[in-house]
Structure 1
């Protein structure tokens, strides 16, 4: 009989988890930077033509060739960002289980994206796929005649299938139920104190940066626009951009406080914040989850300040190109600045100049076939 074995130095669970997350982040960063810059070119360029929704499909048929080109650019950037969650999940699984973990991790990460579970779901997908593949590699025993099929057939097929089943039937349903519950809760708060509601919406949006909690707040806020209720939308649109701008500004002012690998991500984060994409702050949340607390505080304060001082955003637009259309736009911009400043200063409590753990060859599992005696 032949079985798969892993030749790997033992590490503590905490070290393995941290190394896996950092590996996923390092492979994800080029996608974020590429997507952010390309989308920034498109949206800033379109703003000179008075267009604040260049992503809308109608611009693909615009009479102006430059507008059509900017629309295409925005699509290219969005395509790069759409790979973010599958890639981070795939390379988390890779860190845990080497090359056999990539396919199951990426497919499970793509499923997490399709289910709307955000980067928390992608993290779960990567770890689930990685440890499932690791278990298969160490436990599956095959006859010598078919042992060579393990790495190219049994592991990728079995690992992908099992990881997706866990994501769909164990992880996905609870997150979906939580999402519905949060939406109902926010709807129930709409008749209460508008400042408290704004702070709650802002904190939720800043928590998981495009994940289910963020989506519940943004979706509910946008739904209320149809009823002429604008405060939740104002809070949400402010909070969307505060974390990426705040963290990005911090990397520019206190560059030495951040790991070298995240300094370029800070530039992309600032740009993504200005064009209304909160995912620019995700690498920092993955690198050190403590920043999530700072994000929530900064987003909540900025949102409450905007609503409390009378700013009103009647459109689901968070990027800078829509700021001048906001009622009391000076207050709106001030609220963004205050919230971003809180996050920029608060990040100094989280990032203290420590380098991220480097990927080392011995940290990667090596696979070989051993013969049972």
Structure 2
């Protein structure tokens, strides 16, 4: 084996480990996203239809919408430090949870990062480092914690090592590094990005929509999907709600589009998938992108590109039309909260049709005939 081949093999293994660590972090974060998003959407919906209105929801103390929204906000508030803690856990085990969580949490405090920036002579607004900061912190913390865990220590310290020495030591070592080398730079970059996206239009909308939409459809609820979702959700916290509408629409079109494709050309799908089409429509309208997974699992090389095409076009159209969505979850059930509910629905249907057309064009084979031929030869 040549030196170059050996280096490539090592890099491949390392990248695979990073991917697994990120997947673990995302999978443990998802329940917080789901619960928080749904409860916040319920708060918005209740305030809109039965309460005092969305604008007064936060001040309507004791109302049903107030309780729902507070539950949702708390669930979503911890999802980012949970991501950092979960990534560290996937690398270092239980000793990595607390350092990863706390170090990810401290860089979400914009006031702390502002003072940190002033210490080194930088001017920064009170902005946290977001999910990207937590992702980096989780990886760094996990490896440092694992290194500490593997160090030899006197046997008398054995019982205290995993519960006190390793987590506290990792936190002490990384605290200044996380603040100055990760928190401040990432927060500054994130602030610049938010300012750039606050006025997206024209060509910018096409580029951003294509990227976000493709990410939402690529792995249908996986790490790439969640990066696009969390990114858009964070922007919505600062009043930039157009990307949230774009990713919600882009996440709804894959299941609906696949159901349409299945009904239009049933001969191209197995009977099991045809029976699954109705539930795919329901899942799609509920903003559960995973409803398209059975189709993608059966024929990923042709289905996934079609899904990405439909979602990219739908997200771009949403941004071009400046559709907004203040709720982070809920799908069709929070459609009335959009600034243009009918356009919101129209773009969902438009993207779903594009998805159906693209996938149908990419799937020329008759799956049922192929299945029958396979069974007859076995």
Q: TM-score, normalised by structure 1?
A: 0.59
Q: Mark the runs of 5 or more structure 2 residues left unpaired by the alignment.
A: 1-11, 111-127, 216-226, 263-271, 274-278, 294-303, 329-333, 363-378
Are the structure 2 counterparts of residues 160 and 346 from structure 1 closer, same or farther at C-alpha, using a change threshold of 3 Å? farther
Shift of 1:186: 5.3
The farther-off stretch of 167-176 and 334-343 is: 334-343
Find the counterpart in structure 2 of residue 287 from structure 1. Answer: none
How big is each residue's C-alpha offset from its partner over 1:209-268, in whole Å with a ceiling of 9 and x where there is no partner?
36668756985x75xxxxxxxxxx6x44532422443456579889x99xxxxxx9x999
1:88-127 counterparts in 2 under 5 A?
88-114=83-109, 116-127=128-139
Residue of 77, 80, 85 corresponding to 1:82: 77
Q: CA deviation at 1:90?
A: 1.7
CA distance in 1, matches of 2:359, 2:140: 30
2:347 corresponds in structure 1 to 335
1:162 equivalent in structure 2: 173
For residue 195 of structure 1, the aligned residue among 193, 202, 214 is: 202
Q: Which range moves more in the overlay, 18-27 or 95-104?
A: 18-27
Residues 168, 269 of structure 1: CA spacing in aligned structure 2 closer, same or farther, 3 A cutoff?
A: farther
RMSD: 4.7
The alpha-carbon deviation at position 155 of structure 1 amounts to 0.5
Do the aligned partners of 1:294 and 1:347 also contact (CA within 8 Å) in 2?
Answer: yes
Describe how 1:8-87 pairs up with structure 2 within 5 A.
Answer: 12-49=13-50, 52-53=53-54, 56-60=57-61, 68-87=63-82
Return the match for 2:141 from 117, 123, 129.
Answer: 129
CA drift of 1:170 comes to 1.7
Q: Where do 1:1-373 residues align within 5 Å?
A: 12-49=13-50, 52-53=53-54, 56-60=57-61, 68-114=63-109, 116-139=128-151, 141-183=152-194, 185=196, 194-200=201-207, 202=209, 208-209=227-228, 219=238, 222=240, 235-236=242-243, 238-246=245-253, 249=256, 271=286, 301-302=313-314, 304-306=316-318, 311=321, 319-323=334-338, 325-326=339-340, 330-339=342-351
User: How many residues are treated as equivalent by the alignment?
Assistant: 290
More relative contact order, 1 or 2 (CA 8 Å, 6+ apart): 1
Maintained 8 Å contact 1:209/1:240: yes
Mean CA deviation greater in 245-254 or 171-180: 245-254
